[in-house]
Structure 1
Amino acid sequence: MTTPVYDFLTAYAAQDNTRLHMPGHKGRLGAPALQEAAKLDLTEITGADSLFEADGILAESEANAASLYGTAYTLYSCAGSTLCIQTMLLLMKQEGRTVIAARNVHRAFLNACVLLDLPVQWVYPQESDGILSGSYAPEDFEKILQQLGRPACIYLTSPDYLGRTADIAAFAALCQQYHARLLVDNAHGAHLAFLPNRCHPIQLGADYCCDSAHKMLSGLTGTAYLHVRSDIDATPERVRSAMAMFASTSPSYLMLASLDWCNRELASPLFRERLADVAERLQQLRCILSQKYVFADSEPMHLTIDAAASGFCGTELEAYLQSRHFILEYADCYHVVMLFSAANTPEEIAALQQALEDFAPSQPPAGQKFHLPHPETVCGIREAALAPQEILPVQHSAGRICAAVKVPCPPAVPIVLSGERIDRACIDVCQGYGISTIQVVQ
């Protein structure tokens, strides 16, 4: 697959031009360890195209990504999935759609609702695993769709932070039935399109989907894709215009080049073979260790251990693995989350398996996981978030209106949202996750 952006940058660097344009380092100043990268760090000079008016090398590169994911079009983000989430929600607001969202959302979603003054109809999980995960039933969303009688969209986070996935195909069918749109925060699932079972949200019927290229692929941190399944309702120009509303006018060409190169990797049969091999080895690890550990994931490249159900404290396992030079994605008393990609080697997985076999916990497991509070909504999320605020010890906040969202580890179920009244259940969960202060409306 072609890499037009990467090729342009490397060719320009090789020409040794006198750079009378931004950026100011001119390809030669800056930190010594970043010198080679600085040579490729350009701006929108002639031939480099312009991200939000792309018709040259960036448009060609984005078309390559679209062909890999099977979309009507795919656009690049240098502001992570955050920019993609903002864009999707702005498009829905422009269409006058009510947003129905599963409660486990990334903080970026909540901040976008503040910026857009966007009310949300929340759906709580039927079953939850603390605040980090839960299962959502399409029929709970259908009840709201039946009552609305006006255009709507459903917003899901899948995979969630523990690696559990929603039944995207069922939600897509529901949206088609009610002429709604399905938006999926797939930040942790960019690789799903390249597994043998083809389980990416776009392949399963989602209308819009964001993928972080840096979480599970080789893109530089902050790179992401915004996928659009059909161009019937939203043209590329309309979506670019929505993205430009929130994005920097100086997107990083280093980041764009990494997305461009990512396309080449994704198109390679070797990448898919390595991805499938890692997934298979992790599944074998789960089977071998199933008597010792309870695994909480359903997405193959997450390895999530339910520490509480396994009979030990998750932070003890984290400390033990760190002493063996394994640095984890996340751990608390209840869960341990490890992320894998095609870059992980068989030797690394074998060494991890041995370490997990050798682990002998000494600390008792944490108590029961917290049940999700259902706080009362008092005012809009924007009204509360932009109101005068004060910070209180969380134990003294009962009855006050939350001003700033409390999410210990995004994406997760917010304990209490801006505009909701803090009650005793909220306080207990906050304290259980080590949150000692909270911002409230004055």
Structure 2
Amino acid sequence: MSDKDFSRISVVGLGYIGLPTAAMFASRKIEVVGVDVNSETVAIINEGRIHIVEPDLDMVVHAAVQEGYLRATTTVEAAQAFLIAVPTPFRGENHDPDLSYVEAASRAIAKVLEPGNLVVLESTSPIGATEAMAQWLAEARPDLTFPQQAGDKSDIRIAHCPERVLPGKVMRELITNDRVIGGMTPTCSAQALLLYKNFVAGECVIASGPRVAELAKLTENSFRDVNIAFANELSMVCDRLGINVWELIELANRHPRVQVLQPGPGVGGHCIAVDPWFIVSSAPDEAKLIRTARIVNDYKPNWVLEKFDQMLADLLQAQPDLTAREVTVACYGIAFKPNIDDLRESPALNIVSDLANRFPGKLLVVEPNLEDRDRPVIGNAEFSNLASARENADIHLMLVDHNEFYATEPPSGRILDTRGVWA
């Protein structure tokens, strides 16, 4: 098969990774059928609009839809290649991987599979997920052969090619970043390589198998998580010792071989806050450092809430005539990272939600990246603009360092700055 044989591609899951990937293929004049269970998402895309915030994505999607290379549907259709980009969360207190979305997508795809088709799992997944996907496909289509049964002679090709892009820079990094491809056989890898070379300018590196590719992505995010945990733990140590952590990190980073990251209110997102648990679940006795980093980062929002409680108590002690019900608190940012609208696994959102459930006063939320229709209901919290929050709040919680916040001077009142914006 040559790259010209991929005349139609199906992308299952039109979220933060699936839609940009679908748009990228469509921009190369390949027919792309996007599949999503959300009918509203499908309708928005078919109008040439997008339902997420990602720079430049709106223009690419609009052009692709207008030119007839991209359309969305709720039903899987036949194609030469299928890319699965659905969520892979964890469940329960033990953080066990939840592959139910991958299984549902696999069984939906199975109905339309034809000999020669390629199926690629793009979702970041626990070790063995690609093989599990292949097994679900085989169970649903006993009339076809799969790599685990027939090797390179199989009717269907299976591979794993995890996304490795940064929200806010997805459209550029999809093209420029290297990709890791782990096919179940050499032929599977070769077919996936031809597919991605339609738009990837970075190097497509062939791994020895899907398990290596799966663990490579988990390793990348776990590396980040461990280093963020060091910075978060350091911030708590500095607070105990009465030292400015931002000054300390700036000084430490003057060493030529030291690069301490910046602390925050925790770690969020669909990758760094989730992926390390996949490694822990695969090797619980060995992944001690990775588990500890997760515990440190998961605890940080609780630490922020403890600091808030102390700040509120200090305010009430300083002003005996004031009650907690009369205090106004402003929270700046609820996305999981700066300059995006993504709320998945957001520690800032968890902090605000906790306050909304127990703080009796007025709670203002400033989130410049969310349109009115996308704002979640968070208990008694009210969404506010930046100027009003700065003017009216008694306590200010800086949770996400959006660009808009850097452009303002520190407000009057008490400040709990978890990102060093006003430090």
Give TM-score, length-normalised by structure 1: 0.33
Higher share in helix: 2
Which structure is higher in RCO with an 8 Å CA cutoff and minimum separation 6?
A: 1
Give TM-score, length-normalised by structure 2: 0.34
